[in-house]
Structure 1
Amino acid sequence: MGMSVTISAAGAQDAEQILKLQYLCYQSEAELYGDYSIEPLTQTLDGLRAELSTGYALVARLGDEVVASVRGSVDASGTGRIGKLIVHPRMQGHGLGGRLLDAIEAHFAAELAAKRFRLFTGHRSESNLRLYLRHGYAAVGREPVSARLSLITLEKDAAAQEFAASA
């Protein structure tokens, strides 16, 4: 008998599992850019707990195991800032990242009146870029961080998410 993945709001009790998953998932990003000092790999448990207490996060569980997560917040201008979308390597390629992205967008639009969504990823993170473009995001900026890394900022209107949900 197989288990299905469930998505729910994350709580403080999930912080340790999220941090361990984050560390695992960002190893490939660090290798891609040759930089193991990136923030997702240096974030502390206390830092993550503080982030969870001020924003919103979702987790995907397979049984009791957190296998994916996403988090963010909505600012005063109505921009839903989405970050740290992570999926366990063994669970990638099955649509889980897209499900989490859709779920946090829906929450931000319905509960927090988000007007637009914004996220970023590294310029060499091709699978991330493909996912975001497939979900209606468009690149709106590029910021050099180092000689090896530029961050691509992507956005979409919340109305585009509502249209996709009703289609």
Structure 2
Amino acid sequence: MGMSVTIAAATEDDAERILKLQYLCYQGEAELYGDYSLEPLTQTLDELRAELGAGCVLVARLGEEVVGSVRAAVAATSGTAVLSGLIVHPRLRRHGLGGRLLAAIEERLAAEGSVRRFRLAVGRRSELTLRLCRKRGYEAVGTEVVSKALTVVTLEKSAEVGELAAAG
């Protein structure tokens, strides 16, 4: 390709591109679970814009194209950063971009100083994402049966582990 992927804070102008990429990326998840009503596939542009304004949203760009994204919201009372919306364009998967996005959002949130732990939820059948999270130090802390086909695994790690992994 000749260009390198950069990671930066998302702007409101990115909302539509993130939503389109999210729709593309979750087609495989919907097929895997036999459920095309997954929240990322039904989220509206207004809902996504609200997330952009309420938390930390990063995008990965290849030139001007948004090819990945991740978002997080921090619960001030518990210091837990809840990560969501980790997406990477299908043609760029398995090249480390998902790990770079996770590391970038962990670093950014840890630098703010109020985050004690990171949490995210992943479908039990989403093996690549589960493997990526475990590689980044996340450990399963619970499961929730959402439907007959979908069980979600909640994973967490401490912010201190995130800082060590980012430094290493």
TM-score tier, shorter chain, comes to over 0.9
**CA–CA distance in 2 between the matches of 1:119 and 1:49?**
20
Name the counterpart of 2:112.
111
Q: How many residues align?
A: 167
Secondary structure (helix, strand or coil) at the match of 1:24 reads helix
1:139-165: CA deviation from partner (whole Å, max 9, x where unpaired):
000000011111000000011011122
- Equivalent residue runs for 1:55-94 within 5 Å: 55-76=55-76, 77-94=78-95
**CA–CA distance in 2 between the matches of 1:33 and 1:45?**
24
**CA–CA distance in 2 between the matches of 1:10 and 1:112?**
21
RMSD: 1.0
Name the counterpart of 1:129.
130
Secondary structure (helix, strand or coil) at the match of 2:91 reads helix
TM-score (norm 2): 0.97
Name the counterpart of 2:44.
44
Moved more, 109-118 or 95-104: 109-118
Name the counterpart of 1:158.
159
One-letter amino acid of the counterpart of residue 92, structure 1? R
Unaligned runs of 5+ in 1: none
Secondary structure (helix, strand or coil) at the match of 1:30 reads helix
One-letter amino acid of the counterpart of residue 2, structure 2? G
TM-fit CA distance, 1:123: 0.5
Name the counterpart of 1:96.
97
Q: Are 1:9 and 2:9 counterparts?
A: yes
Secondary structure (helix, strand or coil) at the match of 1:148 reads coil
1:69-114: CA deviation from partner (whole Å, max 9, x where unpaired):
0001111210011001000000000000000000000111112521
**CA–CA distance in 1 between the matches of 2:113 and 2:89?**
28
Runs (4+) of structure 1 exceeding 3 A deviation are: none
TM-fit CA distance, 1:138: 0.2
Unaligned runs of 5+ in 2: none
TM-score (norm 1): 0.98
One-letter amino acid of the counterpart of residue 147, structure 2? S
**CA–CA distance in 1 between the matches of 2:12 and 2:144?**
33
